[in-house]
A and B are shown apart, each in its own frame.
Chain A
Amino acid sequence: MNLKFSEEDLKFKKEVKDFIDKNLDKNTQKKIDLGQHLHKEELVVWQKKLEEKGWLAPNWPKEYGGTEWSVTQRYIFDEECGAASAPSALPFGVTMVAPVIIKFGTKEQKDFYLPKIYSSEHWWCQGYSEPGSGSDLASLTTKAEKVDDGYIINGTKTWTTFAQHADMMFLLVRTNNDCKPQEGISFMLLDMKSPGVSVKPIITLDGGHEVNMVYLENVKVLKENLIFEENKGWTVAKYLLGHERTSIAAVSRSKKALAKVKNIAKLNINGDKSLRDDNRFMDKVTKCDVRLQALEYAELKGISDDVKGIPPGPEASMLKIRGSEIQQEITELVLEASGYYAYAYQPNVLEKGNNEPLIGPEWSSFAAPKYFNTRKTTIYGGSNEIQKNILAKMLLEL
């Protein structure tokens, strides 16, 4: 056992770091640092930089733009992006639907969609959850009726991140009712400009607009846009969920965020004392750090297994549970450190062209909205209760 990276890996690490330093917009970096939402344009700027460098889609096959990085290199890349507060490429295209298309798609589907994802021409969203189907995803009722050249879709999708900017949606629909719920689901690709699609914003607790309701009324999907086979959508969805869950531990981002808390604790914000003099506060910081260290090791172990070709098991659910809790704890610490200035609500203060004066220190300016918004991490991507069900069933065999 050893934790060392090879010389080559270290060289690569430096290359990534230099690239980010040189190319990442400072305001974008600051917004991520403070927990602010990014606009589509800000993400596109970064994706374009990655595209030019050829680093946008490391996990794709080389012919479509993949980097052929080793597992360790991919890890290093993610780690450096987290440490530098660089945005992730919008996951719905590059890391979610693309691997599905690569694994299950036809040659035509690959040739058509992958280049458009790579060039940021197609912006994707995910149509999974429905108002009545959250944790119990397999109960979904959005219906796809077969017609000559495709399907007519009717139903409602919810929690659809970035639907307001999306060109395409990948979605799960019901194509058969006379069987086990999982066996009557199909995976399809839908053009958001199709007649019958309407998007309604859902404003979240922090006042932000990330997620939406998407209403589908008699929307036509051509049969060329079915992925894999009819009624085999659950197989596709399970493949994709595996991708979502490993990145959800957010170790490098949490390390960065916790380091920030430690810096805040050095400031004289309590008279001429700092929070470092406050054992109650520092104990919470340290306990969080202890859990984060354990999480980091668990993540590294997963990567090491991956290198050895050992497939990921239900342990990924543990990473999701602890990773999401730690993210929440860190936002609590920033909120507590902020004291009274946590009250100030200035959602647009970092936007370009905004002249309102900043209230209180910059580091506290989004403490409360960030804390409110981060409640979602234990809910999305399969709530932590569902993760515990998975572990109880698969690992504990209860």
Chain B
Amino acid sequence: MDLSLTEDQELIKNSVDKFILESYDSDTRRKTIKNNIGSDLSVWKNFSELGWLSLPFSEEDGGFGGGLVDIMILMRSFGRGLVIEPFISTVIMSGAILSACPKGLIRNNVIEKIISGDAKVSFAHSEPRSRFNLSDISTTASLENNEWIINGHKCVVFGGAQADYILLAARTNGDRYEKEGISIFLLDKNVSGLNIQDYPTVDGFKAAEIHLNNVKLPKENLISIENKSYKVIESAVNKTLVAVAAESSGIMEKMYEMTLEYIKTRKQFGVAIGKFQAIQHRAVEMLILSDEMNSLSSMAALKGIDNIAALKSVYASKIHIGTGGRTLAEESIQMHGGMGVTEEMQIGQYFKRLIMLDTFLGNSDYYLDLYSNLD
């Protein structure tokens, strides 16, 4: 056993940390939030040049062949830097879906374009009433005259309007809720019948409602194995959870540090407020919560997603975002006092992201259920 980083892993960490320190400040982030494309193209180009867009893809697919630990290292630093690029939606989530689909012209071409930084991809999965249930899919795809006809409504698709391609989960067979009968399609976002409603998210990203009204697709745009994609989706979600836990761990670490700095410098009643024991104990509690997130996220990345013990670690890390993470987030705002609720202070930006990461891919209540059912 050795829980220190390998040389290669150190290299990844150093390169991300260096990039964030030198080229990713809060102004860059704020500008990206305000633009319509949900990305800073020069930043994205840098990501590609630094090899990060290729990180999870296999060498066979032209990628770096990185594992979950590599992703964890990168995402933890992204969390600390509060990076707002559509990295999770394009590289982690869509990347995992595409990687798990059988090789083919369409799939390979999209992966190539992701790696080169020429295409962004969104995974359209959830529907207005599906909440967090991955198999609750009512969007239908039926084959008529060698063409797929797709109808449905996908909600809160991250980066949906800015993506060049959309990966879509639709039902090719079976009833709503059934795991059997789900397939994955690749859509060019200019295809007719697609109505995309773009909007900002409360944590600075972009999302879209996607309505599909008799969208027609060539037969080969079903890129998964027909009717057998539930496992692919589930496994992509679990991989993404590892990334999300790592991002949360970076965010929590940073929030703890910023709060510690604040209570050391903010003076009331003639002393730094960090001199008060009531504040000290709470700051120590924040340190422990952040440390727990770090542990859980590391454990999840190391164990992977392929067996029950591994899944427990993954779910545990996701649960902690909504429990310990929320406590830490709320405490950090409280200790910043009025300054904590201003848009201007960075702490609030981290707060919003961390709070919303609880909802992303299922909140802590949802994973408490899944976890208890594993035992």
Contact = CB atoms under 8 A, between A and B. Distances in A.
Contacts of A342: 202, 356, 359
B299 interface: no
A207 B352 CA distance: 12
Nearest to A204: B341
Interface residues of B, number: 47
B338 A345 contact: no
A345 B202 contact: yes
Contacts of A134: 268, 337-338
A207 B202 CA distance: 9
B131 A343 contact: no
Interface stretch (A13-21, A223-231, A312-320, A366-374): A366-374
Nearest to A202: B342
Contacts, number: 130
B187 interface: no
A182 interface: no
Interface stretch (A58-66, A84-92, A303-311, A377-385): A377-385
Interface residues of A, number: 50
Interface in B315-374: 330, 333-334, 337-338, 340-344, 348, 351-352, 355-356, 359, 363, 365, 368-369
Nearest to B156: A340
Contacts of B338: 129, 134, 158-159, 376, 379-380
A319 to B, nearest CB: 19
Contact of A344 (B207, B341, B365): B207
A281 interface: yes
A203 interface: yes
Nearest to A369: B202
A362 interface: no
A139 B273 CA distance: 14
B132 interface: yes
A167 to B, nearest CB: 24
A368 B356 CA distance: 8
Contact of A269 (B131, B207, B355): B131
Nearest to B131: A270
A136 interface: yes
Contacts of B132: 339
Count chain A CB atoms within 10 A of each CB in B128, B132, B337 and give the residue with the most. B337
Given A203-B344, A379-B337, A343 B202 contact: yes
A205 B202 CA distance: 10
Given A345-B201, A369-B202, A280 B365 contact: yes
Contacts of A207: 343
A346 interface: yes
A93 B291 CA distance: 48
Contact of B126 (A340, A357, A376): A340
A359 B210 CA distance: 11
Nearest to B276: A385
Contact of A343 (B130, B133, B203, B337): B203
Contact of A372 (B156, B200, B202): B202
B230 interface: no
Contact of B341 (A139, A205, A268, A357): A205
B136 interface: yes
Interface string A85-105: 000000000000000000000
Nearest to B358: A336
A290 to B, nearest CB: 19
A368 B207 CA distance: 15
A281 B365 contact: yes
Contacts of B365: 278, 280-281, 336
A360 interface: yes
A375 B356 contact: no
Contacts of A132: 267
Contacts of B295: none
A139 B132 CA distance: 51
B177 interface: yes
Contacts of A375: 330, 333-334, 340-341
A376 B128 CA distance: 31
Given A139-B268, A360-B128, A202 B344 contact: yes
B155 A360 contact: yes
A376 B131 contact: no
Nearest to A371: B355
A159 B337 CA distance: 11
A135 interface: yes
Count chain A CB atoms within 10 A of each CB in B128, B338, B343, B356 and give the residue with the most. B338
A340 B156 CA distance: 6
A136 B129 CA distance: 49
Given A359-B199, A369-B202, A375-B340, A343 B356 contact: yes
A129 B337 CA distance: 12
Contacts of A269: 129, 131
17 contacts: A136-B268, A202-B342, A203-B342, A204-B342, A205-B342, A205-B343, A205-B352, A271-B131, A328-B330, A335-B359, A339-B132, A341-B128, A341-B156, A342-B202, A342-B359, A344-B156, A368-B356
6 closest Cβ pairs, A-B complex? A136-B268, A340-B156, A368-B202, A203-B343, A343-B201, A270-B131
Given A336-B365, A343-B359, A359-B197, 10 more contacts: A134-B338, A135-B268, A204-B341, A339-B131, A339-B132, A344-B202, A368-B355, A375-B330, A375-B334, A376-B338
Interface of B: 126, 128-133, 136, 155-156, 176-177, 197, 199-203, 205, 207, 209, 267-270, 278-279, 330, 333-334, 337-338, 340-344, 348, 351-352, 355-356, 359, 363, 365, 368-369
